[in-house]
């Protein structure tokens, strides 16, 4: 009985752990960010309501026959609107006291009198209350999964002109009531299409699982549904890189879970050590953490020193003393990232093989040594790309500031001392003999190899934001086990522009069938 209980507890704990796996990347949108989204969203709602299609209104009262058609929205005033977080998964968009101006075509037949003209109308006291439910879909993408909407019109007025103006004014209550009903019935379907179709197409532009370069990719799938409080929206992303040669490979996340407490900026993005470790693990698995230098790529001073150090070996083993040297630096284990409040570093272990390469003969190995180094890492944003610049030098960094500029501008208040040492894999005695090479090889690593590595990672990796939304005034802050990027947002493209870019092109048949028919001008059709 006790054994069964223990087994059940272990099973339950494993299920809880699996359902609450820590994110490698976390994004928080604050109420300030939501205010910016509201401004752009309000413009989008205005555009959608301008395109409302209202059915024709026709009928008869005794000898009076009428037809109202070609209803168009001419003006829209959304005087008061709010976009708020609603725990646990909802956004509430509330529009109060709005007004909608309309213009439509009238046709009237009363006994033998036929009248045609236009009517200007105004719907006042319009109230639209919309609740959007956010969730992750099967692919791990953020989606608007459901929407509820209520729309009402408090008052509607119509102005009439023409020969039968008095008749229209007599029947205005009937016509205006019908138009008010038809208009209120079209508001929510229009917004539902805008949310569940158009806005979801915008969310489709957020990268979920895509390639970073020819070697690795990134998985930004959501681990769980978004969590919404009264002031923030939190998104937990997997944040795991993978080698393209083994795309199904999973790396367990044992890192500290990022915790975002700040709310002063519009958005915060947090990255754990796991995020960076998985990138370096993927590059290691892809077999690209190897650099070869030969001939002119080796600095002349270092070549002279190496030939002097290994002169005896060269003289004994190679008939061609002047054969070119070759240096092969190969990382021996996946590098590890260490994030502390004082700064970010990367620990690397590697082998350095030094050989002579005589023409038309097999290479002659002179030495094989192990290298251990701790590199200083600068993490910064450039556009929407997160970039890392590695360095071996000691840094004295200045005040925390914006990172819209290229490195080496300061990001932290700290000093980091990079570490570098070499030793022989064969014996301690040979390690002592290699001591004189430590400073030159460190210089080689800094001046020759580090630029190659930084050039390879220059592109960076995109942060999961929709197209048309960019960061401004970014600040990077280190914590124990993770770092955060606080930033403001701005729209480089409008919602409509991005949506239209990805809107499916309708077929000719579908396009023609969707066009409303022109109302008849023949009184006999009424």
For residues 271 and 23, what is the distance between their CA atoms, to the nearest angstrom? 8
As given in the structure block, the two tokens for residue 162 are: 């023409």
CA 68 vs. chain centroid, Å, equals 47
> 148 and 99 in contact (C-beta within 8 Å)?
no
| Residue in the structure block whose two tokens are 């367990």 | 252
Rounded to 5 degrees, φ, ψ at 8 are: -65, -40
Enumerate the CATH 3.15.20.10 domain ranges in the chain, comma separated.
Answer: 209-394+417-489
Higher pLDDT, 441 or 316: 441
Q: What is the band of 526 on the pLDDT scale with cuts at 50, 70, 90?
A: very low
CA 514 to chain centre: 35
pLDDT at 435: 67
Q: Mean per-residue pLDDT for 478-484?
A: 95
The CA–CA distances, whole Å, from 9 to 6, 19, 21 equal 5, 15, 18
The number of C-alpha atoms within 13 Å of 100 and in the hemisphere containing its C-beta is 32
Q: Would you call 249 helix, strand, or coil by DSSP?
A: coil
Q: Return d(Cα 33, Cα 28) in angstroms, integer.
A: 9
Residue 417 burial by Cβ neighbours in a 10 Å radius (0-12, 13-18, 19+): exposed
Q: Residue 90: which of 194, 293, 226 has the closest Cα? A: 226
pLDDT at 147 over 80: yes
Residues contacting 143, CB < 8 A, separation 6+: 134, 135, 136, 137, 200, 203
At 106, is the secondary structure helix, strand, or coil?
strand
Distance CA 329, CA 327 (A): 6
DSSP string covering 189-231? HHHHHIIIIIIHHHHTTS-SEEESSSSEEEE--BSS--EE-SS
Q: Which of 133-142, 317-326, 373-382, 411-420 has the highest mean pLDDT?
A: 133-142
Residue 480 is encoded by which pair of tokens? 């124990």
Q: Which residues contact 382 (CB under 8 A, 6 or more apart)?
A: 404, 406, 460
CA dist 287 and 369 (Å) reads 20
**Which residue intervals of the chain bear CATH 3.15.10.10?**
31-204
170 membership: H or E segment, kind and range = helix 165-170
- Residue 515 DSSP symbol: S
If we measure between CA atoms, which residue out of 115, 102, 100, 101 comes closest to residue 168? 115
User: Would you say residue 87 has pLDDT above 80?
Assistant: yes
How many residues are listed for the chain in this entry? 526
Q: Please give the pLDDT value at position 319.
A: 55
305 vs 252 pLDDT, higher one = 252
CA distance 147 to 86: 13
Q: Is the pLDDT of residue 404 over 70?
A: no
Count Cα atoms within 13 angstroms, Cβ side, for 24: 24
Q: 415 has which bridge partners?
A: 396
Q: Judge whether residue 279 has pLDDT over 80.
A: yes
pLDDT digits (tens, 9 = 90+) for 14-70: 444 445 689 999 999 999 999 999 988 888 888 888 888 877 777 676 666 777 788
Closest CA to 419 of 361, 373, 379: 373
What single DSSP character describes residue 251? Answer: -
| pLDDT tens, position by position, 370-384 | 888 888 899 998 888
Please report, to the nearest 10 degrees, the dihedral formed by the alpha carbons of residues 92, 96, 99, 104 taken in order.
50
Confidence of residue 244 (pLDDT cuts 50, 70, 90): very high
| Bridge partners, 216 (sequence order) | 243
Helices (H), 237-346: 273-285, 300-309, 311-317
Mean pLDDT along residues 191-200:
91
Q: What are the CA-CA distances from residue 362 to residues 105, 263, 320, 330, 357 (Å)?
A: 91, 63, 12, 20, 7
Residues 306 and 437 sit within 8 Å (Cβ to Cβ): yes
CATH topology assigned to domain 31-204:
Bactericidal permeability-increasing protein; domain 1 (3.15.10)
CATH of domain 209-394+417-489: 3.15.20.10
Q: Which among 196, 242, 192, 252 is positioned nearest to 52, based on CA atoms? A: 192
Pairing of strands 325-331, 343-356: antiparallel
| 216 burial via Cβ count (<10 Å: 0-12, 13-18, 19+) | buried
Q: For the chain, what is the mean pLDDT?
A: 80
């Amino acid at each position: 009985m006790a054994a069964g209980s223990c087994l059940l507890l272990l099973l339950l704990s494993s299920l809880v752990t699996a359902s609450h796996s820590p994110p490698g990347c976390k994004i928080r949108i604050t109420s300030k960010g939501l205010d910016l989204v509201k401004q752009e969203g309000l413009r989008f709602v205005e555009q959608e309501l301008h395109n409302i299609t209202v059915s024709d209104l026709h009928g008869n009262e005794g000898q009076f026959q009428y037809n109202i058609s070609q209803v168009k929205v001419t003006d829209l005033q959304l005087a008061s609107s709010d976009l708020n977080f609603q725990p646990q998964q909802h956004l509430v968009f509330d529009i109060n006291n709005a007004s909608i101006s309309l213009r439509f075509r009238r046709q009237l037949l009363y006994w033998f009198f036929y009248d045609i003209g236009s009517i200007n109308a105004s719907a006042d006291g319009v109230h639209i209350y919309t609740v959007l439910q956010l969730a992750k879909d099967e692919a791990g993408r953020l989606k608007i999964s459901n929407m509820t909407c209520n729309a009402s019109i408090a008052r509607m007025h119509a102005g009439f002109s023409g020969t039968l103006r008095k008749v229209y004014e007599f029947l205005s209550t009937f016509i205006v009531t019908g138009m008010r009903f038809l208009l209120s019935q079209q508001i929510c379907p229009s917004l539902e299409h805008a949310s569940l179709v158009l806005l979801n197409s915008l969310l489709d532009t957020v990268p979920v699982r895509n390639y970073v370069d020819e070697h690795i990719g990134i998985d930004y799938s959501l681990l769980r549904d978004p969590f919404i409080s009264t002031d923030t929206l939190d998104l937990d992303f997997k944040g795991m890189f993978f080698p393209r040669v083994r795309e199904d490979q999973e790396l367990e996340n044992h890192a500290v879970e990022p915790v975002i407490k700040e709310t002063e900026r519009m958005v915060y993005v947090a990255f754990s050590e796991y995020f960076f470790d998985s990138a370096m693990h993927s590059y290691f698995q892809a077999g690209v953490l190897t650099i070869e230098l030969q001939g002119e790529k080796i600095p002349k001073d270092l070549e002279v020193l190496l030939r002097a150090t290994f002169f005896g070996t060269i003289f004994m083993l190679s008939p061609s003393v002047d054969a070119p040297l070759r240096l092969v630096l190969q990382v021996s284990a996946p590098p590890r990232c260490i994030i502390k409040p004082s700064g970010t570093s990367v620990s690397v272990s590697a082998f350095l093989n030094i050989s002579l390469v005589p023409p038309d003969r097999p290479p002659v190995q002179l030495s094989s040594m192990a290298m251990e180094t701790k590199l200083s890492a600068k993490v910064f944003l450039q556009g929407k790309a997160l970039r890392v610049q590695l360095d071996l030098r000691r840094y004295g960094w200045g005040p925390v500031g914006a990172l819209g500029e290229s490195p080496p501008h300061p990001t932290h208040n700290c000093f980091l001392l990079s570490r570098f040492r070499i030793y022989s894999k064969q014996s301690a005695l040979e390690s002592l003999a290699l001591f004189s090479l430590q400073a030159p090889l460190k210089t080689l690593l800094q001046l020759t190899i580090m630029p190659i590595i930084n050039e390879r990672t220059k592109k960076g990796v995109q942060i999961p934001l929709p197209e048309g939304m960019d960061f401004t005034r970014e600040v990077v802050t280190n914590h124990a086990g993770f770092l955060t990027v606080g930033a403001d947002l701005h729209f480089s493209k409008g919602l409509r522009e991005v949506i239209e870019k990805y809107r499916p092109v309708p077929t000719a048949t579908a396009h023609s069938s969707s066009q409303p028919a022109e109302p008849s001008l023949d009184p006999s059709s009424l």
